[in-house]
Amino acid sequence: MRPDERIGGLVQSLSKHLIHGVDEKQWERARRDFLDLGFVKVPFLAPESTKTALADEIEMLVAEHGVRREMSFKETGHTPRLMRNVRHHEIRRHGSFIPEVYASEEFREALGKVAGEPVLECPYEPERYVITELEQSGDTHGWHWDDYSFALVWVVACPPVEHGGFVQCVPRTRWNKEDPQLHRQFITRPIHSFELRPGDLYFLRTDTTLHRVYPLSGGRRLIINMGYASRADLDKRISHETMDSLWNGSREGQNA
């Protein structure tokens, strides 16, 4: 089979799954949890064939194009980002299935059913998809918000919860880049923690949910984050300081 036929077949399986493999109750429950907590696990949105093919491509990309980054940003209260990444333009150049999944209109419509509003391609390309590997003890994607409204995270590898790597969220919070006041957010609102396993998928309201990955004390964690915009994002003026530094290297963040 030619590579483009294989990718075409995989995209078709994903579309079929969204029509026949998900029942209304699953959408409803997911929407309720998402609106309530800003976080919901949605592993039912993709068949095994999609998850396996994405995982294989992500492993290949991180092995060949992963770059170690150790940074922190004043816009998120100097929380650490200690990780290895593959950025959007490398994934687009060397990947084949990831860009197709991201571009799938059916898949974005499925996410829109969970969000309760349209889920759009991110107008800022570096935030469309990024691979992140936490590989050393102490590695973390520290507390932050994202510039755009939604993220879908595909979990390829994750250590047992005793070794960290789970996600923590503080929903219904706002990012003031001048004065993020993280401690004030923790004191005024509860922190919710969610265990993840390989094969999990979760959907996050990233602009109003403060979130982080608990630091690793062992094992390895590998994900791809696909970022999406809301209609409201398209009217906002969004500055990209932290993401430019993390994913583009166009402005150096401070060393963590």
Ligand X SMILES: O=C(O)CCC(=O)C(=O)O
Give the residues lining the site for Fe ion (CB under 5 A).
146
Out of Fe ion, ligand X, none, what residue 45 binds, judged by CB under 5 to 8 A for its kind, is: none
**Token digits of residue 243:** 């993401």
Q: Which of 52, 55, 50 is nearest to 13 (CA)?
A: 50
Whether residue 251 contacts residue 145, with contact meaning beta carbons closer than 8 Å, is answered with: no
Judged by CB under 6 A, which of 98, 167, 169, 222 binds ligand X? Answer: 167
Instruction: Check binding of 54 to ligand X (CB under 6 A).
Output: no
Q: Which of 156, 229, 230, 246 is nearest to 196 (CA)?
A: 156
CA–CA separation, 70 vs 252, rounded Å? 10
Judged by CB under 6 A, which of 223, 229, 242, 247 binds ligand X? Answer: 223
3-state class (DSSP) for residue 139: coil
Instruction: Check binding of 139 to ligand X (CB under 6 A).
Output: no
Please say which residue, 10 or 72, places its beta carbon nearer to ligand X. 72
Please say which residue, 139 or 146, places its beta carbon nearer to Fe ion. 146
Whether residue 131 contacts residue 223, with contact meaning beta carbons closer than 8 Å, is answered with: yes
Give backbone dihedrals phi and psi of 16, rounded to 5 degrees, phi first.
Answer: -60, -45
Minimum CB–partner distance for residue 148 and Fe ion (Å): 10
Site residues for ligand X, window 61-100 (CB under 6 A)?
Answer: none
Minimum CB–partner distance for residue 131 and ligand X (Å): 9
Site residues for ligand X, window 189-218 (CB under 6 A)?
Answer: 211, 213
Whether residue 161 contacts residue 195, with contact meaning beta carbons closer than 8 Å, is answered with: yes
Instruction: Check binding of 173 to ligand X (CB under 6 A).
Output: no
Give contact residues for ligand X (rule: CB under 6 A).
130, 132, 141, 146, 153, 167, 211, 213, 223, 225
